[in-house]
Structure 1
Amino acid sequence: MDDAGSLRERLVEVGVHLVLTEGTAALGLREIARRAGVSHGAPRRYFPTHHSLLSAIARRGFADLEARFAAAMAGLTSPRDRLQVFAREYVGYALECRGMFELMFRHELLDSDRHGADGPRLRESTLPLFEHLATLVAQCRENQRRENQRPKKQGRDQADPPEDPSVTAAAFWANLHGIAQLWTWGSLQLVLGASGPPGTERLDRLVAEVLDAHLGPVVP
Structure 2
Amino acid sequence: MQTEEGRPESGGDGGGLRDRLIDTGVALVDAEGAAALSLREIARRAGVSHGAPRRYFPTHLELLSAIARRGFAQLGAEAGRALDGTGPEPRARLTALAGAYLAFAAEHRGMYELMFRHDLLESDGLGLRETSLPLFGMFTDLVARVRPETEPAVVAGALWANLHGVAQLWGWGSLQLASGADDVAPLLAAVLDAHLGPEPR
Counterpart for residue 20 of structure 1: 30
Aligned equivalent of 1:174? 161
| Corresponding residue of 2:60 | 50
Question: Where does residue 95 of structure 1 map in the other structure?
Answer: 106
- Structure 1 residues 48-99: Cα deviation after superposition (integer angstroms, max 9, x where no partner): 1010000000011000001001111114211111100111111111111000
* Equivalent residues of 1:112, 1:123 under 8 A apart: no
- Deviations 1:154-208 (CA, angstroms, capped at 9, x unpaired): xxxxxxx42x1000000000000000111122221221235xxx5xxx3221111
Are residues 1:129 and 2:107 paired? Answer: no
Equivalent in 178, 181, 185 of residue 191 of structure 1:
178
8 Å Cα contact 1:88/1:203 also seen in 2: no
**Residue aligning to 1:65:** 75
Is the Cα contact below 8 Å between 1:15 and 1:32 reproduced in 2? yes
Moved over 3 A (4+): none
| Offset from partner CA, 1:22-51 (integer Å, 9 cap, x none) | 111211101111111111111111111010
Match of 2:144 in 1: 138
Count of aligned positions: 190
CA shift, 1:3, in A, is: 4.7
Q: Is the 8 A contact 1:59 1:122 kept in 2?
A: yes
Question: What stretches of structure 1 of length at least 5 have no aligned partner?
Answer: 114-118, 143-160
Once residues 110 and 134 of structure 1 are traced to their aligned partners in structure 2, the CA distance between those partners, rounded to angstroms, is 20
Whether 2:118 is the aligned partner of 1:107: answer: yes
Report the counterpart of residue 188 of structure 2 in structure 1: 207
2: CA distance, partners of 1:20 / 1:64: 13
Letter in 1 for 2:64: L
Distance 1:45 1:182 in 2: 38
- Structure 2 gap segments, 5+ residues each: 2-11
TM-aligned CA deviation for residue 123 of structure 1: 2.5
Q: Secondary structure at the match of 2:184?
A: helix
* More deviation, 67-76/172-181: 67-76
Cα separation, 2, equivalents of 1:128 and 1:219: 28
Q: So what's the TM-score if we normalise by structure 2?
A: 0.89
Residue identity in the other structure for 2:97: F
| Rounded Cα–Cα distance in structure 2 between residues aligned with 1:207 and 1:70 | 19
Return the TM-score normalized by structure 1: 0.82
